[in-house]
Structure 1
């Protein structure tokens, strides 16, 4: 199983660029992406970011300078980045990384709209976590 879908492209090369804060990834179908760490962090597939269902997403702010300090393999289908802000609960499947790379212009636009709608700035620090720690289940 390559990704979560059997016919998904698989990474042929994956490079962490901490200086420019981007993940460079080449896939078996010839697609190549440079995914900013900030985009990966604000769209992390973790429950901490996505919530436990529609409408429970947590808008992420203050992630422009985030780095990937470690990239752990997860089987043959994903990686788990450890971000410099301590976030490490997101498992990024090959399918999801392909989606982030392929849709990053649309995802950036959506993120900026969500920030504007919420009346917060992109570089505003995240509020303190209040009681719900998703890593516990």
Structure 2
């Protein structure tokens, strides 16, 4: 069973700021990270985003307005986030979220560069998948 690595302090608080679309996570070492929903969505640890091996990552586009609609604890080591575009298959371990907090700026710049190279946009495009109405379960 996955747990916290000995190098990562346990989280002490997690808050979702709906208006600013930011997930704020505080850790026992005093560090607090403010991770935008869009950042967490485009760097989802799911196979749908990461692929099944190196070089198989799928560039996420049009996610500027995405929000987190639900946070579900996974044991005592992670959370599963549900996003407004229906994506809900990523399990975000505390280790991963701590690493994302430390590397957020360089990861964000890499994402923006990949978007630019692909001629893609953060802006939602007409015809992109619309958010699912609240209260509906997953559709396989």
Same fold (TM over 0.5): yes
Distance in structure 2 (CA, Å) of the matches to 1:23 and 1:16: 5
2:35 alignment counterpart: 35
In the alignment, the residues of structure 1 paired with residue 5 and residue 15 of structure 2 have an alpha-carbon distance, to the nearest angstrom, of 23
Measured after TM superposition, the shift of residue 58 of structure 1 is: 0.5
- Give secondary structure in 1 for the equivalent of 2:87: coil
**RMSD value, Cα:** 2.2
CA distance in 2 between partners of 1:32 and 1:52 (Å): 31
Q: 1:6 offset after TM fit, Å?
A: 3.4
Distance in 1 between residues matched to 2:93 and 2:118, nearest whole Å: 29
- The residue number in structure 1 matching 2:109 is 109
- After TM superposition, where is structure 1 displaced by more than 3 Å over at least 4 residues in a row? 1-4, 124-129
Aligned pair in 2 of structure 1 residues 127, 22: CA closer, same or farther (>3 Å)?
same
Unaligned runs of 5+ in 1: 130-134
Distance in 2 between residues matched to 1:120 and 1:75, nearest whole Å: 37
CA distance in 1 between partners of 2:12 and 2:88 (Å) = 24
d(CA) in 2 for partners of 1:126 and 1:80?
28
Deviations 1:70-105 (A, max 9, x none): 000000000000001000000000011111111111
Matches of 2:43 and 2:126 in 1, distance apart? 15
What is the Cα deviation at residue 60 of structure 1?
0.4
Unaligned runs of 5+ in 2: 130-138
Equivalent pair of 2:4/2:10 in contact (CA under 8 Å): no
Partner of 1:118: 118
Task: Confirm or deny that 1:96 pairs with 2:72.
Answer: no
Cα 1:6–1:21 change in 2 (3 A) is same
Q: Calculate the TM-score normalised by the size of structure 1.
A: 0.87
Residues 104 and 53 of structure 1: CA distance in aligned 2, closer, same or farther (over 3 Å)? same
